[in-house]
Amino acid sequence: MRLDVGLGFALGVGGLHLLPEMPPWWSGAVLLSALAVAAWVRPRASWAFAFALGFCWAWMHACQGLCTPFPDELARAPLVVEGRVASIPAVETHRTRFLLDVGHTWDEHGTGLDFSGRVRISCYRDCPALSAGERWRINVRLKPRHGSLNPGGFDYERWLFEQGIAATGYPRGREAFERLDAGPGAYWLTRLRQRLAEHLAGALDGSPQLGLIQALTLGERGALERETWDTFTRTGTNHLVAISGLHVGLVAGGVFWLARRLWSLSARLTLLLAAPRAAAVFSLLAGFGYAALAGFAISTQRALIMLAVVLGALFWQRTLRPYQALMLALVGVLVWDPGAVLSYGFWLSFGAVALLLLHLGQRLPSRDLWTRWGRAQWAVGLGLLPLLFLFFGQASLIAPLVNLVAVPLFSVLILPLVLIAGLLSLVPFAGLDVPLRLVAEGLGWCLNGLDWLAARPWAAVHLPARPLWAWASALLGAVLLLAPRGLPGRWQGLILMLPLAVARPDAPGWGEVWFSLLDVGQGLAVVVETQDGILVYDAGPAYPGGFDTGAMMVAPFLRSRGIERIDRLVVSHADRDHAGGASGLLALAPAETILSGEPERLGLAGAEPCLAGETWNWSGVDFRLLHPQRADLKGNEASCVLEIRTGERSILLTGDVGARTEERLVARLGADWRVAVLIAGHHGSATSTSARLLDVTRPEWVLFSSGYANQFGFPAPVVRERLAERGIQTLNTAFDGAVQFRLGPDGWIDEPQGRRERAGRLWTHHPSRPP
């Protein structure tokens, strides 16, 4: 395959996924027709035709998940769905989570609805024992593919789209489940994997390494503790845990070596088929079997296609240049699954191979194995560093040294022992599960060593967001540094990588306020940046399952802005939707001062009461606490009310106080009190954001922080009507994602803008707004 044609196809696939929304179907047809004519007239332009072909192919694939979405009007409506369990149910202490391939849907009155597809169900109580492939009728409440959208945060909607999930939801009622068929149907492989997972759980009962064993054998990482995954991330060894090209390649390579040796022992067999060709067949079958054991996850599908390209060339005795093989595998993966471009593993795996070819492909092989291995780790470590920072905001500094030892140890010893011990444990004889327990014990020792390394403060480094040109410069610099030695000016790669290290995010000037209302679902979290100080007002909710918005949403945003410490954390009051994420946030970004309306109930060390009258000034920006006036208030009415003022404009945060407190504030501050931006009290509850407060303060904007399709119906219709009557502009994190704006000392204001509008992609959910 010509490199330009393959690259054109890949660029077409990637180009579609960069668009903010799905283009109309005819645009691809017009593009394809025009470039087909151009390629016929000028054959050198065939890459452009390949680009159009890739674009159209990706459009057809994306349309399956985007052209007929789950309707917004059915969000959280009582529904009945019928389908088969499509995954191994993840059973945790507080919930059971599984995928359901829905074939039929009805409303609560039994009327059929035009929806089918894959949904993700989370069951929190009265959950029956589920097996993959079973057909169930379930009473559910669903919502479209939707997640919080914040700068520097995880794009949950992108992940759902990549997994082919159209909606998420939960069962309703105590008797929500009705089993219709206990057989596996077409999901026999998933059922088999579930039984193997249950067998491993029984053989390793109580072992802390069960999750690791299941991850290495079955690709199921649900039982891995978050702390364990963080250890692998900080040491740069998480690629050893997630079954991917490395694992499939190791299994296929081991079988190839063994099959070739054994086949060569028989003269009759070698006359029938050359040993290398026979080994290629057995190797591909072994890779296919291991990928099946892992459930044909996206990463294993990618590895299988790459393996098939290499082994196919060997079997058919075709000579492929390394870059041709890489391009053929790239196109094969994108033909099979154009959505693979959304996977970070796609870019890291193909990038790693390309870097190895660049750095080692033009060199004479060294006789010293460790020298070659060291060069390979240097190439992968340096070359992928910009991508790791771009994708995850952090990278392990010790990864090249750790992997120098860990990858050979894993390849030669750990993975073969895990697979062999796992197979032995299936033999129904007493004592054959002992090797598996011993292997698990050995993995525990290895993990202890990684834990020690991960605990070093210099093990990993976080990098704030950088402008696009800095990333492009760093990638070019890495490629230049890894180029063959004969290329002049390779040292200039260091200069090109320098902006990645020295560039810093923009920062507020004197008297400026940079305000971010984060999208934390049904809760509140605000970050206020000034030239001299950082204030965080509330930290969002935390949930019994361990999800903590302070650690998972607020802290990543601060890191993306280069903020490592908080000058002042104000937790309005101790309700979970405002204070739940505070401890998780403080663990990652310590605060110099903590204020709260309920400091004792909050339970945070060093927390002090917020009281009306306290003021401070940061670089020309005035902060003033307006409420409470005494420290013995409880609940919503204890909320810290904070005014932020620069020049003639101000922002008012009222927490969850009700109309009575708002009335007292208006009476105390007078009829001349004006506010430019008001954060609606109590997420838009009918008990807050009163007409009296609006008439006196006359805000230009009112911002809501609420969860999409929340069970309370916030913001309340009466509040929305109140604002519409007064012509006040509104934004809501439920529909707009994180809302950001800026105020200046001379009265200017950048209009508030939502993250969904600013940085949305074609998979981004744009909910229909209530009237």
The answer, yes or no, to whether residue 537 has pLDDT greater than 60, is yes
d(CA 401, CA 377): 8
pLDDT digits 0-9 by tens, 622-645? 999 999 999 889 999 999 999 999
- Strand extents, DSSP E, 605-762: 607-609, 615-618, 621-627, 641-646, 649-653, 677-679, 701-704, 729-732, 739-743, 749-754
On average, the pLDDT of the chain sits at 92
Predicted pLDDT of residue 432: 82
Among the listed ranges 28-42, 413-427, 695-709, which one has the minimum average pLDDT value? 28-42
Strand partners, 403: none
Kindly state the DSSP code that residue 553 receives in the 8-state scheme. Answer: I
Predicted pLDDT of residue 299: 83
Q: Where are the alpha helices (DSSP H) in 410-554?
A: 415-425, 434-454, 468-481, 492-502, 549
The answer, yes or no, to whether residue 224 has pLDDT greater than 90, is no
Predicted pLDDT of residue 487: 80
Contact 64, 79 (CB under 8 A): no
The answer, yes or no, to whether residue 364 has pLDDT greater than 60, is no
Enter the pTM of the model. Answer: 0.92
Predicted pLDDT of residue 319: 81
pLDDT digits 0-9 by tens, 373-424? 788 888 888 899 999 999 998 899 999 899 989 988 998 899 999 999 999 9
Predicted pLDDT of residue 251: 92
d(CA 174, CA 628): 43
Predicted pLDDT of residue 362: 60
Strand partners, 394: 462
Confidence of residue 365 (pLDDT cuts 50, 70, 90): low
Nearest alpha carbon to residue 334 among 316, 322, 346: 346
Where along the chain do its domains lie?
A: 3-66, 72-186, 191-236+403-463, 468-502, 513-755
Number of residues that make up the chain: 771
DSSP assignments along 286-304, one per residue? HHHHHHHHTT--HHHHHHH
Among the listed ranges 290-299, 642-651, 663-672, which one has the minimum average pLDDT value? 290-299
pLDDT digits 0-9 by tens, 706-728? 999 999 999 999 999 999 999 99
d(CA 302, CA 173): 41
Are β-strands 112-113 and 117-123 bridged in parallel, bridged antiparallel, or unpaired? unpaired
Q: What percent of the chain has pLDDT over 90?
A: 73
State both tokens at 321. Answer: 């240049």
3-class SS of residue 552: helix
d(CA 506, CA 381): 29
**Domains 72-186 and 513-755 equal at CATH topology level:** no
∠ Cα 328 284 293 (to 5°): 110
Predicted pLDDT of residue 368: 67
pLDDT digits 0-9 by tens, 196-214? 999 999 999 888 999 999 9
d(CA 257, CA 746): 74
Q: State mean pLDDT over 555-571.
A: 96
Predicted pLDDT of residue 42: 77
Q: Answer whether CATH 2.40.50.140 is correct for domain 72-186.
A: yes
d(CA 405, CA 383): 19
Predicted pLDDT of residue 358: 86
Predicted pLDDT of residue 366: 58
Are β-strands 78-85 and 96-107 bridged in parallel, bridged antiparallel, or unpaired? antiparallel
**If residue 587 lies in a helix (H) or strand (E), which one and from where to where?**
helix 582-588
Class of 513-755 in CATH: alpha beta
